[in-house]
Structure 1
Amino acid sequence: MELWIPITIAAAFLQNLRSAAQKHLKGVMGTTGATFVRFGFGVPFALFFVFALNRFAGYPLPSVNGAFLAWMVVGGLGQIAATFLLVYLFSFRNFAVGTAYSRTEPAQAALFGLIFLGERVTAGTLSAIAVSVFGVMLISVAHMAVSWRTLVSSVVSRNSLIGLASGTLFGIAAVAYRAASLALGGPNFMMQAAVTLAFVIVFQTLVMGAWMVFRDRAEIGHIARAWRPALFVGLVGASASFGWFMAMTLQQAAVVKALAQIEMLFTFASSIFFFKEKINALETAGCLLIVGGILLLLLVG
């Protein structure tokens, strides 16, 4: 088994934990605060990863260059903007279709990987991505009064375009993070990923911190009062991101993001076994498609 596969699965599991913890924080702070926590409280852990790899593993620090900084900024801003659009979708009454289109991130990452990095994926890999993406889209609309015809015919609606834009920015961010890590040129994938994460998460913390200072100062107090659970979000969030960055240093972003759809299966496992919730036919079909897409990806990738 290639190393990027278990790293991606572990990252998806940690991201699922982070998402659950963030939902808990939404009870004591707003969307801006809950989003900031994943960055701001992840900074010390991201810096520790770099320190530990340098001090204990003996890996030298790579030289930062202009290409790295440029890709880092593109990825950091792209991820913030994509998250903002996704949250913005929730303000609309019928947001399910738009959310479904935002899940096209792996397919769009394949396109941007070709445009920006000249990376090609095989027909088999594209098929696997398509199957898993469609599975996630089905799950996204499973509890809404929509059908596959609605999903296809609504491609030019406002919500769909916002969702597609969010998926586009997430795809660009993923490719930019891979490009930034590769631009460091060494010493190995772990240190490259750690340094990329440290720069990105500090940059995003500064951007979102400035936003709160000027536009939403009340959130700062809410964050301060919830620092203990926020610290856990920072830990699992930074660890998940470290996993994503390592995987995307080793493998194309589109392929990593396709396998990352396994996070949805972790979510449903939690719903069924811990919260005793039932899933409907569309959700079951979506889960089966995700599993099929992942298996196909591992067979042809």
Structure 2
Amino acid sequence: METWVLITIAAAFLQNVRSAMQKHLKGVMGTTGATFVRFGFGLPFAFLYLVVLWQVVGRPLPVPNGTFFLWAVIGGLAQIAATFLLVHLFSFRNFAVGTAYSRTEPAQAALFGLIFLGEKASEGTLVAIAISVVGVMLISVARTTLSARTLVTSVFSRTAGIGLLSGTFFGLSAVAYRSASLALAPSLPAPDYMMQASFTLGFVILLQTVVMLIWIVLRERDELPRIAAAWKPAFVVGFVGASASFGWFMAMTLQQAAVVKVVAQVEMLFTFASSFFIFREWINRLELLGCLLIVLGVVMLVLI
């Protein structure tokens, strides 16, 4: 199995752990605070990975250029926007439908990859992406009332629009991160996907931390004491989140963002495994079918 596949699966597992812990934090602080923890408390670990690669392992630091800064800023801001839109969906009664459309991220990443990087996906890859996206959408709407009429009307609903826009920003951020990381390669003696990913992660998470901290200070200052009070679990979230992001960035340096994002859908399988084995929640037939489609799409990509 290729290196990027193993890295992606590990990152998906860590992201599932981080999401579960963020859900816990959301009980003691607001949505903005729980989102900030992902970046702010992950910052020390992102820099730690970079310092270890540089000082301990002895790998040279890349020299950033204008292309790197452009794509890194676009990616960082796009990810913040995507996360806020996704969280905003929870204020709607039928947020599950909107969430389903946000999961079109791999398909949109493929489109952005074609537009900005000239990356062309094979027919087999496009089919695998489509199968995986359908699987995730089935899971997202499996516990809603489904009919031909509701499916048609949901396409034109406000939640669908917000979900699609969220998926657009997530797809854009993935391609932007890959572009930023690849822009560092010419400044190194030889391509080094670990150093490129670590340097990109360090810059991006610093940018996101500063932007979100400014927002909290100006708009939601009451969140600061809540964040400070929960610093112990927040550090664990930061560590797991930074580790997961490091994995994503490495994988997207090695492989097209759209392809990585399809394999990353295995996170849904980890989520269902946790729900079934830990929380004893049953899975219905649509959810099971969605899981099988995700696995089929991932297997197709690995074998292509």
TM-score (norm 2): 0.97
1:119 aligns with 2:123: no
Number of residues of Structure 1 aligned to a counterpart in Structure 2 = 300
Shift of 1:146: 2.5
Paired letter, 1:8: T
Q: 1:200 aligns with which of 198, 201, 204?
A: 204
Q: 1:232 aligns with which of 220, 226, 236?
A: 236
Q: Which whole-Å CA distance do the structure 1 matches of 2:9 and 2:87 have between them?
A: 25
Q: Which residue of 1 aligns with 2:222?
A: 218
Q: Which residue of 1 aligns with 2:255?
A: 251
Runs of 5+ consecutive residues of structure 1 not aligned to the other structure: none
Q: Which residue of 1 aligns with 2:47?
A: 47
SS at match of 2:91: coil
Shift of 1:149: 5.6
Q: Which residue of 1 aligns with 2:297?
A: 293
- After alignment, is 218-227 or 267-276 more displaced? 267-276
SS at match of 1:154: helix
Q: Which whole-Å CA distance do the structure 1 matches of 2:9 and 2:148 have between them?
A: 29
Q: 2:286 aligns with which of 282, 285, 301?
A: 282
Paired letter, 2:3: L
Shift of 1:275: 1.2
Shift of 1:143: 1.1
Paired letter, 1:265: L
Paired letter, 1:208: M
Paired letter, 1:266: F
SS at match of 2:206: helix
Task: Tell me: CA distance 1:188–1:279, structure 2 relative to 1, closer, same or farther (3 Å).
Answer: same
Q: Which residue of 1 aligns with 2:21?
A: 21
Residues 91-110 of structure 1 show CA distances to partners (whole Å, capped at 9, x for unaligned) of 11111111100000000000
Shift of 1:147: 3.9
Runs of 5+ consecutive residues of structure 2 not aligned to the other structure: none
Residues 13-54 of structure 1 show CA distances to partners (whole Å, capped at 9, x for unaligned) of 000000000001011001000000000000000000110001
Paired letter, 1:139: I
TM-score (norm 1): 0.98
Q: Which residue of 2 aligns with 1:263?
A: 267
Q: Which whole-Å CA distance do the structure 2 matches of 1:261 and 1:59 have between them?
A: 32
Q: Which residue of 2 aligns with 1:96?
A: 96
Paired letter, 1:10: A
Q: Which whole-Å CA distance do the structure 1 matches of 2:151 and 2:102 have between them?
A: 12
Aligned pairs for 1:57-206 within 5 A: 57-147=57-147, 150-185=150-185, 186=188, 187-206=191-210
Shift of 1:148: 6.2
Paired letter, 1:255: V
Task: Tell me: CA distance 1:287–1:174, structure 2 relative to 1, closer, same or farther (3 Å).
Answer: same
Paired letter, 1:275: F
Shift of 1:57: 1.1
Q: Which residue of 2 aligns with 1:7?
A: 7
Residues 107-147 of structure 1 show CA distances to partners (whole Å, capped at 9, x for unaligned) of 00000000000001101011111111111101111111134
Paired letter, 1:174: A
Residues 211-256 of structure 1 show CA distances to partners (whole Å, capped at 9, x for unaligned) of 0000000111100000000000000000000000000000000000
Alignment RMSD (CA, Å):
1.0
SS at match of 2:155: coil
Paired letter, 2:229: R
Shift of 1:298: 1.1
Paired letter, 2:23: K
| Percent of residue pairs bearing the same amino acid type | 71
| Equivalent residues of 1:79, 1:169 under 8 A apart | yes
Task: Tell me: CA distance 1:53–1:35, structure 2 relative to 1, closer, same or farther (3 Å).
Answer: same
SS at match of 1:90: helix
Shift of 1:69: 0.4
